[in-house]
Amino acid sequence: MSDTLPTLAVLGGTGAEGSGLAFRWANAGYPVIIGSRTTEKAVAGAAELNALLGKDIVRGMDNLSAATAAEIAILTVPYSAQQSTVADLAAALQGKILVDVTVPLVPPKVNRVQLPEGGSAVVALQQMLGDSVKVVSAFQNVSAHHLKDLHHNVECDVLVCGDDIPSREIVIKLANACGLRGIHAGPLQNSVVAEALTSVLISINQRYKIAGSGIRITGLPE
């Protein structure tokens, strides 16, 4: 990867979480492509972000073109679309980093942890893609709510899990570029915590009538 910032493809980037992350990365200077099932939706999503940013720097493409054009892909589709979306992109992702943001929520009881058999949805994805795609799990616990408000300090650390440590380092930089603190949280299988935690945070939001609970890891040096 060169000294210039890598191009990011946010797949499913018209949704709340993907769009919020894309906004923060574009604002930090990353070349960002919004990916969607149709080019039209992606172009509209990109135009919305460009209007917010006051610059013309975000592009929109269908998911396959976006994954092909980017150096790093970020998957922000709903759980039900996770595997099918990636199956179509496997060839385009070879040799790249895929950041999986998927939370395996099972509606309607999204405040209850209901992990898939075997535990982690992202571990299943890594097995499907093979070792030449560096899958990294991150951003599952960041509430989309305030990402598009740059004045809002999002109070949430990002647990970054992956079997390839240099790839984790790159994703930690992506978290930091969003104004979040990325933390090495171990191998990909540790992603179970981040995947399950979102349901706990939803449960806390409901119980305490708050909007966007998050987590901080304590005990780290500042």
Q: Which residues bind a second copy (CB under 8 A)?
A: 111-115, 119, 155-156, 159, 183-187, 189-190, 192-193, 196-197, 199-201, 203-205, 207-208, 210-221
Q: Judged by CB, which is closer to a second copy: 170, or 185? A: 185
Tokens 């987590």 -> residue: 215
- Beta carbon of residue 108, minimum distance to a second copy (angstroms, whole number): 14
Q: Residue 94: how many CA atoms within 13 Å on its side-chain side? A: 4
User: Both tokens of residue 104?
Assistant: 């395996």
- Alpha carbon separation from 220 to 28, 90, 127, 167, 183 (Å, rounded): 25, 37, 32, 21, 10
| Amino acid letter, 59 | R
CB of 163 to a second copy, least distance (A): 11
Please, which residue, 91 or 220, has the CB nearer to a second copy?
A: 220
For residue 61, the Cα-to-chain-centroid distance in whole angstroms is: 18
**Quick one: 15 or 187, whose CB is closer to a second copy?**
187
Which residue, 3 or 209, has its beta carbon nearer to a second copy? 209
For residue 207, the minimal CB distance to a second copy (Å) is 5
- Shorter beta-carbon distance to a second copy: residue 55 or 112: 112
Q: What is the nearest approach in angstroms of a second copy to the Cβ of residue 115?
A: 6
CA distance 38 to 221: 45
In the block, tokens 């496997």 appear at 90
Cα torsion through 154, 99, 22, 68, rounded to 10:
170
Q: How far is the CB of 203 from a second copy (least distance, A)?
A: 4
Partnered with residue 10 across adjacent β-strands are 34, 74
Q: Write down the least CB distance from residue 189 to a second copy, Å.
A: 5
Q: Which residue type does 133 have?
A: V
Element (H, E) at 89: none
Cβ-based nearer residue to a second copy, 84 or 208: 208
